[in-house]
Chains A and B, each alone.
Chain A
Amino acid sequence: MNRRVVISGVGMVTPLGVGKTVFMERLFGGSCGIRPISLFDATPFTAKLAAEVVGFTAKDFIRPASIRRMDRLSQMIAAAARMALDDAGLAIDEQNRDRVGVMLGTCFGGTDIAAQFGKVLFTEGPRRVNPILVPNTVMNAPAGHVAIELGVRGINTTVNHREVGPETALTYAAAQIMRGRVEAVLTGGGDILSEFFFNVLSHFKTLSPQNGETEGLRPFDVRGNGTVVGEGVGIVCLESLDGALARGAIPYCEIVGWGQSAAPALAGGWPTETDGPCLAINRALAAAGIAADEIDYICASANGGPRLDRLEADALRQIFSHTGGGPWITALKGALGESLSAGGMRAAAMALALNHQRLAPIVGLHQPIADLNFVRSANARAPIHYGLLNTISSGGTFVAVICKKIEEQRGVER
């Protein structure tokens, strides 16, 4: 358990664009990916906005024969995995293919395909269903497709736990590398927007606008009235620091510790007490061997829903407010929407922030709900050594991951 673990490559297919260059400029520049829905007709719903992936062409990244077999989410994930691998400069060959893994998180996975399959089953009968759809109805389809596309036979798994899948997969992957069970892991994940689930989510009254107010995603804002659905994928390449340096790669950041916890919540609802999220953060700090005041930058999971944002603000204030001005706090969902499995994009964004010493602003925040050090201005820079990726999931599950600037490559920017 002593290898140091780094993020050595990033790949993303997001509402802010495809690939790290465009993603980074728009993220730090404060662009917003939320727009009127174009993927389907949103007229019947009270919510009309979403953060849809823009500018994605699967054939730029995946073999044409493979594209045909993949659903839309698998295409995005396979493309992002390819980008992360290329960004890390890691080539897959006979020598390493059994020691490169794929560990993903997704919330809805291929259930859009399951709904297509079920539609024929329930309207035309079991003899008319299309067996071609079956492989993509399962949550682990993207991970299987990535393994086939890249030819990697290392540990392969899929976490399917509401909003916390990619973060959990990332911590599991980091542990595998620390223990030397695997050389590199492509980890992260994502979800796609589908009419079916938009319909379901809109019935749970969690989407802005509630009470007919102005629609929008406003993290940590007093006017927050619900979230805006998003979609997107982020994949990071994790490997050992020694492995990365030996290849001549320049890592983005190091993963130095994490913590997991749970707390009671209503079925699918948000928890109300701060003890659960605080426990995960404190466990992460203990694992990293650092004090709360050493955290410089926090990427929060706030999504514009009043309950989640209040809970997270209270938890962060409890742990970090005694530390002077406190760490910079950002929340990316104002730009990316709530894509459920946002952890891959958020981890990639954290890696970029630590590497470039740049802060991503909170898009949509105007009247903060708490006196915390929120990042308000675009293109801000600040010295950040330790970053915290904080995740709160409906149903009461918490993961906190602490990332550290790479000192070995001080001053080197990718």
Chain B
Amino acid sequence: MLTSALLFLHTFSDRYEFNPLLGDVSTVFFPRIVLVALFVLAAVLTVRGTVRSPDDGEEASGTLDVARLSAVFGAICLSAVILWLAGLVLGGPLVVALTAWTLGYRNPYVLAAVAVILSLLLWAVLGEVAGVSVPRGAIWNWL
């Protein structure tokens, strides 16, 4: 609700000032409609949330493992950085190992094998055969 309100206010900044040379309808005409609708519906949802308990099909079933969730979230963030810096061939096995470890997998031999084979397979199939761009590692450009 707050985000839609702020974005709506942003549409009144000078850069979006209506210019008849650029068409008959302002460039933020439609975004304003969307943001107003979003604001109103978010407000309705908030009001509904205060007068009744939330039961609209939340997916959380049972208890959430917050510690594991935080660890996996950290691993995912770190994975993005590792892949960007080290590339797929070197960073890929680290990403798989890191995420699997935080998810509770504890067989180091299987993990190492899967991590290395998967990374090399992806590099070969996507990068070399299919010609798809794979992370090469920014660190190698700097060195």
Q: Do A and B interact with each other, yes or no?
A: no
B residues sitting closer than 8 Å to A (CB atoms) are none
A residues sitting closer than 8 Å to B (CB atoms) are none
